Homo-oligomer: A and B are copies of this chain.
Amino acid sequence: MNARSDSASTSRTRGRPPVPKERIVATALKIVDEDGADALSLRVLAQRLDSSTATLYRHFSNRAELINQVIDHTFGSVPVQADELRGLGWEEACRAMATWMFENLRSHPNVAPLLLAQVPTGPNALALREVALQVLLDAGFSPSVAIRCYATLARFVLGFAIQLNGEDPEDAALAEVYGKSGENSLAATAAVAAFVPVPLDEEFRFGLDLLLTGLAQQRSRHEP
């Protein structure tokens, strides 16, 4: 009665893990989205999957590897349209990619703290970089400048993303700090207090514009 002929597709790979990696990663991201990066413990994850922590270690050799894949999952929510991007010209293409990356991270604000463990090196992150480098090389930037451009843009986005989470409480704390500036002989800070907080996406656009302006100038300088 139990004589099952292990035929066809599963013959060599019988005994596969019943919880696919994809589901583990998706569930992990869900926990992070819902309850924050700190809430992602292997215990909680295992419980949510009706599994055990030890079982998770069959799929990931440690917590860092799991997190790596969670990050890349975030980057994969919308595929990069390489051809469309190239049609835009390098400047707009860079702006689009940086903004896309920012929006991706913004839609998963709790993922940001995870980024400090490592530079993203998952397949989706690599694909994005590949497109960015293509665009820059096609535009005539030298390889050594192109890689610096990409690194600068990536770090800029990261610097923003990293503190996306605390937005609300931070604003309150910052407002308090600015409010007190009058008492503390911080004249310049006080002069500026009326203009904070700056909405985050406006701040992002401002900085991105600076970078792209600088890039354009650098390009025209080197190859006129």
Contacts and interface: CB of A to CB of B under 8 A. Distances in A.
A-side interface size class: 35 or more
Nearest to A148: B206
A191 B119 contact: no
24 contacts: A116-B116, A118-B170, A118-B173, A119-B166, A119-B170, A126-B184, A129-B189, A130-B189, A133-B188, A133-B191, A137-B191, A137-B192, A143-B195, A147-B196, A147-B198, A152-B210, A157-B159, A158-B159, A159-B159, A210-B218, A211-B211, A211-B214, A214-B214, A217-B217
A188 B130 contact: yes
Q: Per DSSP, are chain A's interface residues mostly helix, strand or loop, or mixed?
A: helix
A203 B158 CA distance: 15
Given A214-B213, A217-B217, A198 B156 contact: no
